[in-house]
Amino acid sequence: MRMYDILRSKRDRVALSPEEIRFFVQGYAKGEIPDYQAAAFIMAVFLNGMTGEEMLAMTNEMLHSGEVLDWSDLPGLKVDKHSTGGVGDKTSLILAPIVAAAGVYVPMISGRGLGHTGGTLDKLESIPGFNVRLDARQFRDVLTSTHMVLAGQTGEIAPADKKLYALRDVTATVESIPLIASSILSKKLAEGIDGLVLDVKVGTGAFMKKQADAQALADTLVMIGTRAGKRVVALITEMNQPLGTHVGNTLEVVESVSVLKGEVGGDLAELSFELAAQMLVLSEAAQDLATAKQKVKELIENGAAFKKFQDVVVAQGGDPVALEEISRMPTANKTKVVNAERSGIIQQIDAEGVGVAAMIMGAGRATVDAEIDHAAGVVLHCKVGDPVDKGASLATLYYNDESKQAEGLARLKAAFVVADHGPAPTNLIHKVIS
Amino acid sequence: MRMYDILRSKRDRVALSPEEIRFFVQGYAKGEIPDYQAAAFIMAVFLNGMTGEEMLAMTNEMLHSGEVLDWSDLPGLKVDKHSTGGVGDKTSLILAPIVAAAGVYVPMISGRGLGHTGGTLDKLESIPGFNVRLDARQFRDVLTSTHMVLAGQTGEIAPADKKLYALRDVTATVESIPLIASSILSKKLAEGIDGLVLDVKVGTGAFMKKQADAQALADTLVMIGTRAGKRVVALITEMNQPLGTHVGNTLEVVESVSVLKGEVGGDLAELSFELAAQMLVLSEAAQDLATAKQKVKELIENGAAFKKFQDVVVAQGGDPVALEEISRMPTANKTKVVNAERSGIIQQIDAEGVGVAAMIMGAGRATVDAEIDHAAGVVLHCKVGDPVDKGASLATLYYNDESKQAEGLARLKAAFVVADHGPAPTNLIHKVIS
């Protein structure tokens, strides 16, 4: 088998066999196939697509290029959630404790933030002492004792995907559904889960800007995940304005705690509870969605979900008191408020704009190795559709670095559009695909 | 400007500006753009094509990436010919002396053979002493004194093309009309010529197997060459059976001399004279094609063309006597004859098969750095359409290396198809495009 012939087939829209996909993925992971041949391959995939068989083979080969966790000794079906990423999306911090509180194992491996979207690991590290760098033994211990774990990779998960992703990033081949789907699924299936709920975001603040693209990705993820033998559900959800009101690491932990304690509702609570309910159905902890939603409600109301979050914080070395005494977490020295320049209805809060403002102040990373400021971020005082009076505070910028305040504030201000009328109402959850 | 954005545009079928093409070609030539980005780029070009403007910019940028020869101090229009390559194609050795004998300067830069097709430089080196490695001063001296020169590159001609060609070769992106056209034209225009006659081969022994592909390439070459300010004519010519009867380096020199002396006719003479006549028209040495053909005939009949070939052999250090005393050139120790296994008409002589047989015996290179045997090759004793009796000799294999004889002979034998009827008659020259 030669990479040249594989390139030729992909170029000519001849479907590749599983053996050819294996040859490529294994060869590339081992460094036997050079970057330039892999680059030509992914551009050909970008332009000519892949069949379901090819995507399944890509997923399986990338999955098996590294460590695959195994929890078959633990009872029940293990589930997780994956989101394609948005601004203010802290649902993982809420749904994992809910599902674990229902007795379902959630072995959640998360990443760090890049660009205008945050990362679960960064958010967790706002909690003093919280250790996301667990070794395999610690990971298993935490999962076994608390039914959940929130950590980074233990061993080497899907190294072929890691290498290929870096190449896609510099060859303008990121936005390819076959490549996105196989990348997401290979990493998530390596967690050793039985079921996966996917939150495919669509809108101005999301990777997928158009409904049709989000739909195509969701359909593909469900198809490939199912063919890989897993229970998979995908939700297409709106990401035009930030999810919830808090953006930035400490701030997002604070908001998550409020939702877990049942203190606040709104879009963040609605989506987190929906995703948690879907996970309960997938894991057979609930017979149907209505029962699952009732169970979620109970676990919030009886304090079990918040208690579970406290437990996992303790299990991973964190300070549980910080969850209720914010001052124990990194907090900002300075704040600036953005005020409404006119009265009217909030027509738009550009999610990407808010995310970039927070990133500029240090909440996120412009480059992979940038340092972040856990205290920095944004709190919204209104959501799209709310009426506001001239001079009312729209949002507060939290920061420590005065030198970037003007730029951050300008970006935050520009994210708001106040008009005579609000936009047509839309649904938070557009569609559920299973 | 960023290569990432250029890749994105090409991927999305957005035409690139000349500045973007320059950024890519110059950046790649200098090593500032890595192979993997260039590989993704050429795969995107392969699949999405290029506009005329883009191809013109590619040609110009690759042309100016290296040395461009300048003969503006020599009188008249300088011309050359380029062929897309075939088996037994030695027209350069015939037409260059004809055109030079008419007083037109022919600064011909040639290459070496690879695979089943031969290279002009290898053929010339069959002539004892013939030096194809001229420096810039020698190149100019030979051209000035004899009106022609047959050599390899003096300086660095189109280094960007050289680098890109090597990458195309390993990424399955060779067969792309925009990339082929810009590659051919950038190298040929670097010779400092005013006019170019292109011989685009079509058939089983050619790079282009289908008429439509050959037509598309010829059209593109003429369009881009003309837009680059040159006089360009393209002929689409047949390459199913070998051109002429001799294949292999010494053998092809021998056949070329026969044609130059007016001793043999057939397809080789016909095509060589046609191409030479087109060059005379392009260079304004003849008013029209009929006049040009008459002039070619005269230059053969009065011995001027052969005399010119002898002159250039002397000017480049070769032994002119060898042109008429074959034994002074490398000659084969051994021969094997392929006989007809039945009576009938020659229906097919597979050009590629004959070329591969000759290559196996040492006439060509399987890899770039292989050594060749100038004496090895094949002489055909018949052409397609000829009647043969059972047992008649179809071809002779010339060789020195006994260990490869069985394989070479088998390949040669398999190239012949004798049947009850010959194929429908076809034209050697399918079309002339200008």
Amino acid A370: pLDDT: 81
Determine whether A183 is an active site residue.
Answer: yes
Interface of A with B in 217-236 (CB under 8 A): none
Determine whether A187 is an active site residue.
Answer: yes
Q: Is the pLDDT of residue B367 over 90?
A: no
Q: Do A43 and B40 touch (CB under 8 A)?
A: yes
The residue-averaged pLDDT of B27-41 equals 96
Q: How many CA atoms lie within 13 A of A47 on its CB side?
A: 29
Interface of A with B in 45-64 (CB under 8 A): 46-48
Amino acid B25: pLDDT: 97
Among residues B80, B122, B161, B199, which one is catalytic?
B161
Amino acid B211: pLDDT: 94
Q: Is the pLDDT of residue B364 over 80?
A: yes
Amino acid A46: pLDDT: 97
| CB B380, CB B420: distance < 8 Å | no
Tokens of B181: 């056209």
Closest CA to B332 of B402, B380, B413: B402
* CATH code reported for the domain at B79-155+184-323: 3.40.1030.10
Residues 6+ apart with CB under 8 A from A403: none
Q: Count interface pairs A-B at CB distance under 8 A.
A: 78
Amino acid A146: pLDDT: 98
| CB A330, CB A374: distance < 8 Å | yes
CA–CA distance, B278 with B282 (Å, rounded to integer)? 6
Asked if A174 is an interface residue toward chain B (Cβ–Cβ < 8 A), one would say: no
pLDDT tens figures, A69-126: 999 999 999 999 999 989 999 999 999 999 999 999 999 999 887 777 788 999 999 9
CA–CA distance, A253 with A257 (Å, rounded to integer)? 6
Determine whether A307 is an active site residue.
Answer: no
pLDDT tens figures, B192-228: 999 999 999 999 888 899 999 999 999 999 999 999 9
Determine whether A169 is an active site residue.
Answer: no
Among residues A10, A90, A187, A246, which one is catalytic?
A187
Give the CA angle between residues A209, A214, A216 to the nearest 5°.
135
The residue-averaged pLDDT of B156-163 equals 90
Which residues of chain A are modeled with pLDDT < 50? none
Q: Do A172 and B11 touch (CB under 8 A)?
A: yes
Amino acid B409: pLDDT: 97
Amino acid A116: pLDDT: 77
pLDDT tens figures, B100-154: 999 999 999 998 877 777 889 999 999 999 999 999 899 999 999 999 999 998 7
The residue-averaged pLDDT of B418-431 equals 93
Q: Do B7 and A36 touch (CB under 8 A)?
A: no
A227 burial type by CB count under 10 A (0-12 exposed, 13-18 middle, 19+ buried): middle
CA–CA distance, B300 with B283 (Å, rounded to integer)? 19
Rounded to two decimals, the pTM is 0.88
CA–CA distance, A233 with A273 (Å, rounded to integer)? 15
> If you write DSSP's letter for every residue of B339-400 in order, what string do you get?
E-SS-EEEEEE-HHHHHHHHHHTTSS-SSTT----TT-EEEES--TT-EE-TT-EEEEEEES
Q: Do A46 and B11 touch (CB under 8 A)?
A: yes
What is the domain partition of chain A in residue ranges?
3-49, 79-155+184-323, 328-419
CA–CA distance, A42 with A109 (Å, rounded to integer)? 26
B284 Rama class: left (phi>0) / alpha (psi -120 to 50) / beta: left
The DSSP output letter for B208 is B
The DSSP output letter for A78 is -
Amino acid A127: pLDDT: 98
| CB A126, CB A249: distance < 8 Å | yes
What CATH superfamily classification does A3-49 receive?
A: Transferase, Pyrimidine Nucleoside Phosphorylase; Chain C (1.20.970.10)
Closest CB from A5, A34, A173 relative to B40: A173
As its CATH architecture, domain B328-419 has Alpha-Beta Complex (3.90)
Which residue in chain B is spatially nearest to A11 when comparing CA positions? B47
> CB B143: neighbour CB atoms within 10 A?
24
Q: List beta partners, residue A107.
A: A149
Amino acid B153: pLDDT: 82
Closest CA to A7 of A21, B231, B345: A21
Q: Given pLDDT bands bounded at 50, 70 and 90, which one contains residue B271?
A: very high
Contacts of B34 in chain A (CB under 8 A): 35
Structure ipTM: 0.86
